Structure formats: C-alpha cells, structure tokens
Amino acid sequence: MSLLVEWRSGNDSLLNAKICLFSLPGVGNIGKTALDALNSTNDAVEIARLHHTALPPLAVLDEDGLLSPPHLSVRAIEIKDDDWLLTITGSSQPLEPNNQGQMAREILELLKEHQVRELIVLAGMVDDTLSKEIFIVPSSSSYRVDLESKGAIVRRDEPSSGAIGMAALLSSLGPVYGISSACAIATTIGSSGDILASQNLLLALDKWFGFDLVIPDDANQKLVEKLNDLSPKHKTDLVSELTKSHDAFYM
C-alpha cells in the first residue's frame, strides 16, 4: 500500500464522520474552489494529510510557511454536536492512469476502514452558455433513490461522454467498498474559473443534505482569492495535456 496517512492536530481517526466531500482541480476548478472556500468559511480543521508516491514530486510552502511534500488534505467541519463533515482536496493527482486507480482505491479503503458511508465528488462540466445546471449522478440505484428522496436533482443522461481521472474513479467505485458515492456537477461555459458555479454547487449540496453550513456570499473575496491561487499562470496545464485526446471530461 503506497498511501501514507499523516494524522494531524492530535487526531488518529476520521472522527466517526459519515459523509465526505472530495475535489481536485478540473473543469473551471469548480469543485476545488468550492471546497477551499467552504473549508475557510467554516473553520475546517486539518485532521490528516494523505501522501502517495504517485503524486507529482513538487514540494510547496503550506499555510504555515513550511515546506510541505505533495499530499491531499483531509479536513473536518463540525455540522452538529460531535457530528463532522469531511472534505478531501489537493492541488494535484497522479498523472498515470494506473497510479490514479491505485490511489483512488487506497483512499476508498481508508474511508471504508473508518466507516464513512457517503462520498460526494464535486466537479464541473462544460456546457453551452445558456445552461446553468446543478445535478448529481450516483453510482448505485439504491443511492439514487435516497438522493431523489432528499429532493436532489438526479440525472441519468449526463455526463454523456463519461469522465476520467481519480475523482471519476472515486465517485464510481464507492459501491465496491460498501460506500454510497456520487458526483455532484455544475455546468460551466469553459475551462476558466467559474465562481458562481462553485457557489451554486455548494448551495445545492447544503440544501439537499441539510448540512447547515456557512456558504460564501456571491463572488466574495475568498472565492476570488482561491481562483487566483489555482490559476495556471505560467505553470504547465497538465489537465489539458492529459485530456486533449479524449471526449470524456476530466474531473
């Protein structure tokens, strides 16, 4: 097993959390921006870092000004007394498909070990300018019934071209590990950052699941700052390189 769990803030477990939100940089950076802003506005506590040998070997300065190895950050938001919502996000993922599959399976093993029951991946999907949709696509019929009972907008015809990447694997492989998994999608006009779509995705999830979270205001400064942090600027656009020969969208 190549996944190394570094427990932080005095924790040694996932706090008995039953649901986890996951995102990585992708189309419009919608999911990543949404979770970064959500963590910030709800004072999320970092309880673990997930290190993997397949992540790109880039060490960067963390929020404390310390040199940090490549990792995904696991944070917890208290939504009720001693009831926690997990978020997992990071700035990169393995570049090789077999490594993406390995890391996705090891994360699911970790969630299963700690009895996390639901995993929702946040993502964006390119659509025309008139379409501003928020919907969710589950990976099992039983979870679809459950989501529809919550009032969620469940689609059966999208994403029509499929999806690729580690987040796509996580949102589809859940049932293999006894986890109800789904992908929550906001449509956007292109690959540039879409702040409004990120916020609308958070509002929809908060309504459907009754989290009662603090949702960032319209286009507030926190979201702007997160998009600026994620902007490729002069960096290589690895997502474009990976997806330029595929019809499926990269999550």
At residue 230, the pLDDT reads: 54
Which overall architecture, per CATH, does domain 3-250 show? 3-Layer(aba) Sandwich (3.40)
Cα separation, 33 vs 44, in Å, equals 15
Interval 73-125: pLDDT, tens = 999 999 988 899 999 999 999 989 999 999 999 999 999 999 999 999 999 88
Interval 223-238: pLDDT, tens = 555 555 655 454 444 4
User: Are 100 and 3 a contacting pair, CB within 8 Å?
Assistant: no
Q: Is residue 242 pLDDT above 90, yes or no?
A: no
Cα separation, 71 vs 168, in Å, equals 19
Q: Say which residue, 245 or 45, is predicted with more confidence.
A: 45
Q: What is the mean pLDDT of residues 149-153?
A: 97
Q: Whose structure tokens read 């300018």?
A: 129
For the chain, the 3-state helix, strand and coil shares in percent, each to the nearest 5, are: 35, 25, 40
Please give the structure tokens belonging to residue 74. Answer: 């696991």
Burial class (CB in 10 A: 0-12, 13-18, 19+), 248: middle
Q: Is residue 211 pLDDT above 60, yes or no?
A: yes
Q: Is residue 172 pLDDT above 60, yes or no?
A: yes
| pLDDT band, very low/low/confident/very high, at 34 (cuts 50, 70, 90) | very high
Q: How far is CA 115 from CA 20, 166, 175, in A?
A: 11, 21, 13
Q: Which residues contact 64 (CB under 8 A, 6 or more apart)?
A: none
| pLDDT band, very low/low/confident/very high, at 54 (cuts 50, 70, 90) | very high
At residue 80, the pLDDT reads: 86
Q: What is the mean pLDDT of residues 119-147?
A: 89
Q: Is residue 130 pLDDT above 70, yes or no?
A: no
Q: What is the CA radius of gyration of the chain?
A: 17
At residue 141, the pLDDT reads: 97
Q: Is residue 243 pLDDT above 70, yes or no?
A: no
Mean pLDDT score of the chain: 86
Model's pTM, two decimal places? Answer: 0.86
Cα distance between the two ends of the chain:
24
Q: Is residue 155 pLDDT above 60, yes or no?
A: yes
- 76 sits in which H/E element: strand 72-80
Most confident of 24-33, 40-49, 230-239: 40-49
